[in-house]
């Protein structure tokens, strides 16, 4: 079985359990690591993911994988994690979860734009660009990325 086929089978097996826990499956990554493999399961939710949830879900995922044949006989290490800040924004739920965050996104028509996500729904996203709202459909946007901010402008105003 190829890696993509195995990852797809793993995703199909895990999605119902994760959905029951209120989580979305963002990615399944199976990579070789010496004599073992590392299975990274990336989960997220509208409310974020805390360590307690990761721990509980890890146990459920581990039990489910052990009771199926999807991983085969080769040993593996399971990692359940949440997406990092550098995850590309590609789905409406990613944009929705980034409300209030500064993002940079490439435009399908060319160029890039940076702004703060003020609203997002299933059709598109509204960014505050230099104090003015600009609405985009997802078809107009490429991948977006959240920008790391150590001090927001509003934070510096409050400090003065």
The domains of the chain, with CATH numbers, are 3-81 (3.30.300.70), 92-159 (2.30.30.100)
The strand pairing partners of 141, in sequence order, are 107
Q: What is the pLDDT of residue 136?
A: 96
What gap in Å lies between CA 116 and CA 133, rounded to an integer? 9
Contact by Cβ (8 Å): 75, 35: yes
- Which pLDDT tens digit goes with each residue over 39-92? 999 999 888 888 888 999 999 999 999 999 899 888 899 999 988 777 889 899
pTM of the predicted protein model = 0.72
Q: In the structure, what pLDDT confidence band is assigned to residue 148 with cuts at 50, 70 and 90?
A: confident
């Amino acid at each position: 079985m190829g890696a993509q086929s195995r990852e797809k089978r793993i995703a199909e097996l895990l999605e119902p359990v994760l959905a029951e826990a209120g989580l979305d499956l963002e990615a399944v990554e199976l990579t070789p690591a010496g004599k073992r493999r590392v299975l990274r399961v990336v989960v997220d939710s509208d409310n974020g993911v805390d360590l307690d949830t990761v721990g509980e879900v890890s146990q459920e995922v581990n039990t489910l994988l052990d009771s199926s044949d999807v991983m085969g006989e080769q040993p593996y290490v399971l990692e359940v994690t949440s997406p990092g800040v550098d995850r590309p924004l590609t789905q409406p739920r990613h944009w929705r979860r980034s409300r209030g965050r500064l993002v940079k996104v490439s435009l399908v028509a060319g160029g890039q734009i940076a702004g703060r996500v003020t609203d997002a729904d299933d059709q598109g996203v509204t960014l505050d660009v230099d104090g003015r709202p600009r609405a985009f459909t997802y078809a107009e946007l490429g991948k977006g990325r959240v920008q790391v901010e150590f001090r927001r402008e509003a934070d510096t105003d409050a400090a003065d």
